């Protein structure tokens, strides 16, 4: 008799768990909307890059521009003649950081400048605390990231913003 009682309590606990856990998870997921959309197309990436290059030429700067999808995978890359070689990798890193962390890379730069607890940013793999990277938004969803490197970080950001604004 006692064995049946233990078994029925176990069955009740299992059933309760099978019902309760999905309910709790559904509530948690409902509170976290997906900020990511479909990946930027190569055509749109080329348009954004063209705006970056135009802004750079207007100011006599040489730049490397990278556009990534929401996962940080490279979609399009372009480097102007005579751009410093190190800017190639930096532009890709800025684009990835902006897409993966859903914010401009300047946010990390500003946080580091305040010091203190924000120095922990230096331990976050993939964060680039230098201006010049922006998430690319289309209909309120992140469709990728753009990263620009080749001049000062403020100049990189000016050019990157010109490319990011193609979606506004």
The pTM assigned to this predicted structure is: 0.79
Burial class (CB in 10 A: 0-12, 13-18, 19+), 1: exposed
End-to-end CA distance of the chain: 71
Closest by CA position to 91, among listed 116, 103, 108, 74: 74
Alpha carbon distance 146, 32 (integer Å): 24
Task: Let me know: does 75 contact 40? Beta carbons within 8 Å.
Answer: yes
- pLDDT, tens digit, for every residue of 84-129? 999 999 999 999 999 999 999 999 999 999 999 999 999 999 999 9
Structure tokens at 78: 């372009």
What percent of the chain has pLDDT above 90? 76
Residue with tokens 């793999």: 125
């Amino acid at each position: 008799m006692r064995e049946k009682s233990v078994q029925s309590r176990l069955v009740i606990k299992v059933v309760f768990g099978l019902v309760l856990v999905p309910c709790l998870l559904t509530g948690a997921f409902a509170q976290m909307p997906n900020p990511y959309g479909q990946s930027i197309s190569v055509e749109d990436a080329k348009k954004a890059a063209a705006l970056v290059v135009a802004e750079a030429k207007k100011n006599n700067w040489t730049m490397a521009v990278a556009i990534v999808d929401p996962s940080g995978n490279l979609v399009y890359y372009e480097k102007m003649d005579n751009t410093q070689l190190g800017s190639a990798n930096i532009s890709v890193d800025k684009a990835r950081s902006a897409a993966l962390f859903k914010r401009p890379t300047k946010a990390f730069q500003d946080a580091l400048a305040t010091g203190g607890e924000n120095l922990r940013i230096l331990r976050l793999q993939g964060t680039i605390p230098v201006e010049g990277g922006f998430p690319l938004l289309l209909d309120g969803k992140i469709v990728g990231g753009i990263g620009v490197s080749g001049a000062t970080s403020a100049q990189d950001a000016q050019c990157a913003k010109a490319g990011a604004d193609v979606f506004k």
